[in-house]
Amino acid sequence: MQPEPSFKAAAARALADPRLKIAIDRTTITAETKRGAALQDFPQFAAARERGTAIKDHVVAHLDHYLMEFERNALASGAKVHWASTAEEACAIVLDICRAAGARSVTRAKSMLGEEIGLPHALEAAGITRVETDLAEHIIQLAKEPPSHIVWPALHKTREQVAALFREAHGTTQDSEDVPAMVESARRQLRARFLDAEVGISGANFLIADSGAVCTVTNEGNAELTTTPPRVHIVTAGIEKLVPSLPHAFAMLRLLVRSATGADITQYTTFHCGPKREGDRDGPGEFHVVLVDNGRTRMLATGLRDMLRCIRCGACMNHCVVYRQIGGHAYGATYPGPMGAVLTPALEGVERARDLPHACTLNGRCQEVCPVGIPLPTLLRGWRDRSWREGLVPAGTRAGMRLFRFLAERPFLYRLATAMAVRGMRLFRRSGWIRRMPGAAGWTEHRDLPAPAGRTFMEQLRERGR
Ligand code: SF4
């Protein structure tokens, strides 16, 4: 098996791909603009954000209570509730249900939790045909790639690349400028598969404790076609998806939709509550909810409680200067961008994800746009601190930091060192720019560095003071 490339190597590869940058810009710039416009029309955003934050904090503080309440009400509605501590347990539960249903083919509506627990691979390994029904998931299934964004999984693909994929897989001509025709082509491919599947698997945007209902939001209607025709519907959901009641779910929806897509409301907001009842014309005969922990309760105990507020809107990555340069795959994890850089070390261990908390400029934009006010930069600093304490920071960086500390604690030496550095840098100046300099290849390989003015800030300040 090929070892996974390091974050730096994967980021360098992404930076060298001009088509990727075009694809990322097309979606993230639109998302940023639409979110901005949506908030202009929603002056109550700040108050809604405060309320959303309070709702999620309350639920996280009383997680045991609301989990029990949800289970009780879901069971009363005829659902079967399963508990999974780990990703492996969650996949095993889903596979057991599929086998009991004699499933050879399952449809799946987009769910990041499903990706997190490795469900697509588990289904394939069990010989069960998996049909991704979300348009973007259909694209990346054809491309045999993982999602690169939590809301737009195929964000890294240009429409030209999608047209080429569809031409090959659908066996039809595709005009990359005619997006509606490409959507129609995917629709024709997927329609028949909805009716063939014995089991439909979806995620959950919210679990409503006082009714045992599960809320999903989509724009394509594929979740409804995934969950209604099959005999069995399985929901996989992280335990942090709970809200106390329907009004709380609506309060969260107002934040989620505007932050994710800039719309006031999604095309489909569906509440699933138990299996088909007597007299119902359609719906699944069995309704299963798999409640997945997979490290979430550990996050409660390790200073990452704030992260459990996340409603997976993707706004932090749309506004992240790093994500917008390299896209999602370079992070090498299910969750990319700022929220992924916080979540992945919690889910997979900081040793494995040690680079991710450093893939950030700490400019604070992610926290500013987060609809539930998650202090992402603070949490990232927490991971950096832990990496340092656990000796995971490379020796060169540690030596550099120690040298900086030594100088910073001695103002005279610090001033001397910076004055010498500034003068040294000027030796490499050509027409006001530094194009090459020993030790700075990481920067100058990709862009020129403005040459320093010649005097340090402190020197200039002293001069002005005089
Ligand atoms: S951290 Fe905030 S902005 Fe990022 S996905 Fe979660 S809720 Fe959205």
pLDDT for res 426: 85
Q: What is the 3-state secondary structure (H, E, C) of 276-320?
A: CCCCCCCCCCEEEEEEECCCHHHHHHCCCHHHHHCCCCCHHHHCC
Confirm if 429 and 451 have CB atoms less than 8 A apart.
yes
Q: What is the DSSP letter of 357?
A: G
Give the amino acid at 112. Answer: M
pLDDT for res 1: 44
Confirm if 107 and 133 have CB atoms less than 8 A apart.
yes
**Final residue before a domain boundary, out of 245, 266, 296:** 296
- Could you tell me if 101 and 237 lie in one domain? yes
**Edge-to-edge strand list for the sheet holding 242-243:** 242-243, 206-208, 213-218, 268-272
Residue 266 maps to a domain: yes
Q: What is the DSSP letter of 21?
A: H
CA distance 156 to 421: 40
Q: Hey, whose CA ends up nearest to atom 8 of ligand 1?
A: 313
CA distance 329 to 439: 28
Residue 388 maps to a domain: no
Candidates 306, 311, 331, 365: which one to mutate for ligand 1, based on the most atoms within 8 Å of Cβ?
311
Residue 234 maps to a domain: yes
Candidates 39, 45, 316: which one to mutate for ligand 1, based on the most atoms within 8 Å of Cβ?
316
Ligand 1 mean position, distance from CA 337 (Å): 10
Q: What is the CATH number of the domain that holds 68?
A: 3.40.50.10420
- Could you tell me if 199 and 66 lie in one domain? yes
* pLDDT tens digits along 191-203: 888 888 999 999 9
Q: How far apart are the first and last CA of the chain?
A: 66
| CB-count exposure of residue 439 (10 Å: 0-12, 13-18, 19+) | exposed
Residue 454 maps to a domain: yes
The atom number, within ligand 1, closest to the CA of 150 reads 5
Confirm if 160 and 176 have CB atoms less than 8 A apart.
yes
Residue 315 maps to a domain: no
Ligand 1 mean position, distance from CA 237 (Å): 17
**Edge-to-edge strand list for the sheet holding 80-84:** 80-84, 286-292, 232-238, 199-202, 105-108, 129-132
pLDDT for res 127: 96
Query: Counting runs of H as helices and runs of E as strands, what totals does the chain give?
Result: 22, 13
Residue 281 maps to a domain: yes
Range of the domain at 192: 44-296
- Could you tell me if 209 and 83 lie in one domain? yes
- Could you tell me if 113 and 235 lie in one domain? yes
- Could you tell me if 279 and 423 lie in one domain? no
Number of domains in the chain: 2
Q: What is the DSSP letter of 4?
A: P
CA distance 364 to 375: 8
CA distance 238 to 218: 18
pTM of the model: 0.89
Ligand 1 mean position, distance from CA 223 (Å): 22
Nearest to 140 by CA among 297, 23, 283: 23
- Average pLDDT by consecutive 10-residue portion of the chain (466 residues)? 73 93 94 95 95 97 97 98 98 98 94 96 96 94 95 93 92 84 91 89 97 93 89 97 97 96 90 93 95 95 94 97 96 96 94 92 96 97 94 90 94 90 88 87 82 80 85
- Cβ of 316 below 6 Å from ligand 1: yes
**Final residue before a domain boundary, out of 277, 296, 315:** 296
3-state secondary structure of 217: strand
Ligand 1 mean position, distance from CA 293 (Å): 19
**Final residue before a domain boundary, out of 244, 265, 296:** 296
Q: Hey, whose CA ends up nearest to atom 7 of ligand 1?
A: 310
CA distance 71 to 258: 30
- Could you tell me if 79 and 221 lie in one domain? yes
* Phi, psi (deg, nearest 5) at residue 236: -110, 130
CA distance 144 to 70: 36
* pLDDT tens digits along 138-160: 999 999 999 999 999 999 999 99
CA distance 170 to 189: 7
- Cβ of 234 below 6 Å from ligand 1: no
- Could you tell me if 268 and 411 lie in one domain? no
CA distance 204 to 224: 12
- Cβ of 342 below 6 Å from ligand 1: no
- Could you tell me if 420 and 272 lie in one domain? no
For 458, residues 6+ apart whose C-beta sits below 8 A from its C-beta are 415, 418
- Could you tell me if 81 and 218 lie in one domain? yes
Residue 105 maps to a domain: yes
For 465, residues 6+ apart whose C-beta sits below 8 A from its C-beta are none
The atom number, within ligand 1, closest to the CA of 309 reads 7
The atom number, within ligand 1, closest to the CA of 337 reads 4
Residue 349 maps to a domain: no
- Cβ of 354 below 6 Å from ligand 1: no
Q: Show the tokens assigned to 461.
A: 């300040």
Candidates 53, 259, 334, 380: which one to mutate for ligand 1, based on the most atoms within 8 Å of Cβ?
259
The atom number, within ligand 1, closest to the CA of 307 reads 1
Q: Hey, whose CA ends up nearest to atom 2 of ligand 1?
A: 370
- Could you tell me if 269 and 410 lie in one domain? no
pLDDT for res 377: 97
- Could you tell me if 125 and 273 lie in one domain? yes
pLDDT for res 3: 53
- Cβ of 315 below 6 Å from ligand 1: yes
- Could you tell me if 412 and 288 lie in one domain? no
- Cβ of 312 below 6 Å from ligand 1: yes
- Cβ of 326 below 6 Å from ligand 1: no
Q: What is the DSSP letter of 356?
A: G
- Cβ of 310 below 6 Å from ligand 1: yes
